[in-house]
Chains A and B, each alone.
Chain A
Amino acid sequence: MMLSKGLKRKREEEEEGKEALAVDTWWLDPGHPAVAQAPPAVASSSLFDLSVLKLHHSLRQSEPDLRHLVLVVNTLRRIQASMAPTAALPPVPSPPTAPGIADNLLASSDAALSASMASLLEDLSHIEGLSQAPQPLVDEGPPGRPTGGAPPSLGALDLLGPATGCLLDDGLEGLFEDIDTSMYDSELWAPASEGHKSSPEDGPGKEEAPELDEAELDYLMDVLVGTQALERPPGPGR
Chain B
Amino acid sequence: MEEPEQGFAAGRHTCRPGILPGPTRVSSPQDDTWNWCVYLGHTMVLQPSERHYGDWNHRRLGPWCSPTGSPAPLSCETGCGEGSWILVCRLLVPTQVSLLSMEEDIDTRKINNSFLRDHSYATEADIISTVEFNHTGELLATGDKGGRVVIFQREQESKNQVHRRGEYNVYSTFQSHEPEFDYLKSLEIEEKINKIRWLPQQNAAYFLLSTNDKTVKLWKVSERDKRPEGYNLKDEEGRLRDPATITTLRVPVLRPMDLMVEATPRRVFANAHTYHINSISVNSDYETYMSADDLRINLWNFEITNQSFNIVDIKPANMEELTEVITAAEFHPHHCNTFVYSSSKGTIRLCDMRASALCDRHTKFFEEPEDPSNRSFFSEIISSISDVKFSHSGRYIMTRDYLTVKVWDLNMENRPIETYQVHDYLRSKLCSLYENDCIFDKFECVWNGSDSVIMTGSYNNFFRMFDRNTKRDVTLEASRENSKPRAILKPRKVCVGGKRRKDEISVDSLDFSKKILHTAWHPSENIIAVAATNNLYIFQDKVN
Are A and B associated in one complex? yes
Q: Which residues of A contact B (CB under 8 A)?
A: 13, 18-23, 25-26, 28-32, 43-44, 47, 50, 54, 62-63, 65-68, 70-71, 73-75, 78-79, 82, 127-131, 160-161, 163-164, 176, 179-180, 182-184, 186-188
Contact, CB under 8 Å: A71 / B381: yes
Interface stretch (choices B362-370, B427-435, B448-456, B467-475): B427-435
Complex interface bits, B406-431 against A, C-beta within 8 A gives 1, otherwise 0 = 00000000000000000000011111
Contact, CB under 8 Å: A67 / B344: yes
Which chain B residues border A182 with CB–CB below 8 Å? 274, 315
Contact, CB under 8 Å: B186 / A21: no
Which chain A residues border B275 with CB–CB below 8 Å? 66
Indicate whether A30 sits within 8 Å of B376 (C-beta atoms), given known contacts A50-B435, A179-B184, A182-B274: yes
Contact, CB under 8 Å: B380 / A71: yes
Q: Please measure, in the bound complex, the distance between the C-alpha atom of A161 and the C-alpha atom of B431, giving whole angstroms.
A: 31
Which chain B residues border A176 with CB–CB below 8 Å? 184
Write the chain A residue with the least CB distance to B378. Answer: A75
Q: A130 CB to closest chain B CB, in angstroms?
A: 6
Indicate whether A161 sits within 8 Å of B186 (C-beta atoms), given known contacts A21-B433, A78-B377, A187-B320: yes
Interface stretch (choices B13-21, B195-203, B322-330): B322-330
Indicate whether A63 sits within 8 Å of B187 (C-beta atoms), given known contacts A19-B436, A21-B510, A71-B440: yes
Contact, CB under 8 Å: A68 / B186: no
Complex interface bits, B346-381 against A, C-beta within 8 A gives 1, otherwise 0 = 000000000000000000000000000011111011
Q: Which residues of B contact A (CB under 8 A)?
A: 184-188, 274-276, 294-295, 315, 318-325, 327, 344, 374-378, 380-381, 384, 427-437, 440, 507-508, 510, 512
Besides A21-B512, A22-B432, A71-B384, 11 more A-B contacts (Cβ < 8 Å) are A13-B435, A23-B432, A29-B431, A47-B377, A50-B435, A70-B325, A75-B380, A75-B381, A130-B319, A179-B184, A183-B274
A18 interface neighbour in B321, B377, B435, B508, Cβ under 8 Å? B435
Indicate whether A25 sits within 8 Å of B432 (C-beta atoms), given known contacts A66-B295, A67-B325: yes
Q: Please measure, in the bound complex, the distance between the C-alpha atom of A176 and the C-alpha atom of B184, giving whole angstroms.
A: 9
Interface centre among B295, B315, B320, B374 (most CB of A within 10 A): B320
Write the chain A residue with the least CB distance to B184. Answer: A179
Q: Please measure, in the bound complex, the distance between the C-alpha atom of A82 and the C-alpha atom of B320, giving whole angstroms.
A: 21
Contact, CB under 8 Å: A187 / B428: no
Contact, CB under 8 Å: B322 / A130: yes
Contact, CB under 8 Å: B427 / A31: yes
Indicate whether A31 sits within 8 Å of B376 (C-beta atoms), given known contacts A21-B429, A65-B276, A70-B325: yes
Q: Please measure, in the bound complex, the distance between the C-alpha atom of A25 and the C-alpha atom of B433, giving whole angstroms.
A: 11
Contact, CB under 8 Å: B432 / A74: no
Which chain A residues border B431 with CB–CB below 8 Å? 25, 28-29, 47
Which chain A residues border B323 with CB–CB below 8 Å? 70, 73-74
Q: Please measure, in the bound complex, the distance between the C-alpha atom of A13 and the C-alpha atom of B510, giving whole angstroms.
A: 20
Q: Please measure, in the bound complex, the distance between the C-alpha atom of A153 and the C-alpha atom of B468, giving whole angstroms.
A: 54
Contact, CB under 8 Å: B512 / A32: no
B429 interface neighbour in A29, A43, A73, A186, Cβ under 8 Å? A29
Contact, CB under 8 Å: A68 / B440: yes
Which chain B residues border A128 with CB–CB below 8 Å? 320-321
Indicate whether A66 sits within 8 Å of B276 (C-beta atoms), given known contacts A23-B429, A25-B432, A130-B320: yes
Indicate whether A183 sits within 8 Å of B376 (C-beta atoms), given known contacts A25-B431, A67-B344: no
Contact, CB under 8 Å: A67 / B432: no
Which chain A residues border B427 with CB–CB below 8 Å? 31
Which chain B residues border A43 with CB–CB below 8 Å? 377
Q: A216 CB to closest chain B CB, in angstroms?
A: 14
Indicate whether A127 sits within 8 Å of B320 (C-beta atoms), given known contacts A29-B431, A70-B344, A183-B185: yes
Q: B144 CB to closest chain A CB, in angstroms?
A: 19
Which chain B residues border A70 with CB–CB below 8 Å? 322-325, 344
Q: B29 CB to closest chain A CB, in angstroms?
A: 46
Q: Please measure, in the bound complex, the distance between the C-alpha atom of A180 and the C-alpha atom of B437, giving whole angstroms.
A: 32
Q: A54 CB to closest chain B CB, in angstroms?
A: 8
Write the chain A residue with the least CB distance to B459. Answer: A21
A29 interface neighbour in B319, B321, B430, Cβ under 8 Å? B430
In the assembled complex, 27 residue pairs joining A and B whose CB atoms fall closer than 8 Å, in A order, are A20-B512, A21-B429, A21-B436, A21-B507, A22-B435, A30-B376, A31-B374, A32-B428, A50-B434, A62-B188, A67-B294, A68-B440, A70-B322, A74-B323, A74-B380, A75-B377, A75-B378, A75-B380, A129-B320, A164-B185, A179-B184, A180-B274, A183-B274, A184-B185, A186-B322, A187-B319, A188-B322
Q: B418 CB to closest chain A CB, in angstroms?
A: 24
Contact, CB under 8 Å: A31 / B428: yes
Q: Please measure, in the bound complex, the distance between the C-alpha atom of A79 and the C-alpha atom of B381, giving whole angstroms.
A: 13
**Nearest 6 A-B pairs (CB), nearest first?**
A186-B319, A187-B319, A28-B431, A66-B294, A30-B376, A187-B320
Q: Please measure, in the bound complex, the distance between the C-alpha atom of A29 and the C-alpha atom of B322, giving whole angstroms.
A: 27
Q: A177 CB to closest chain B CB, in angstroms?
A: 13
Q: Please measure, in the bound complex, the distance between the C-alpha atom of A43 and the C-alpha atom of B430, giving whole angstroms.
A: 13
Which chain B residues border A31 with CB–CB below 8 Å? 374, 376, 427-428
Q: Please measure, in the bound complex, the distance between the C-alpha atom of A13 and the C-alpha atom of B320, giving whole angstroms.
A: 32
Q: B194 CB to closest chain A CB, in angstroms?
A: 12
B325 interface neighbour in A44, A54, A66, A79, Cβ under 8 Å? A66
Contact, CB under 8 Å: A79 / B186: no
Which chain B residues border A20 with CB–CB below 8 Å? 432, 436, 512
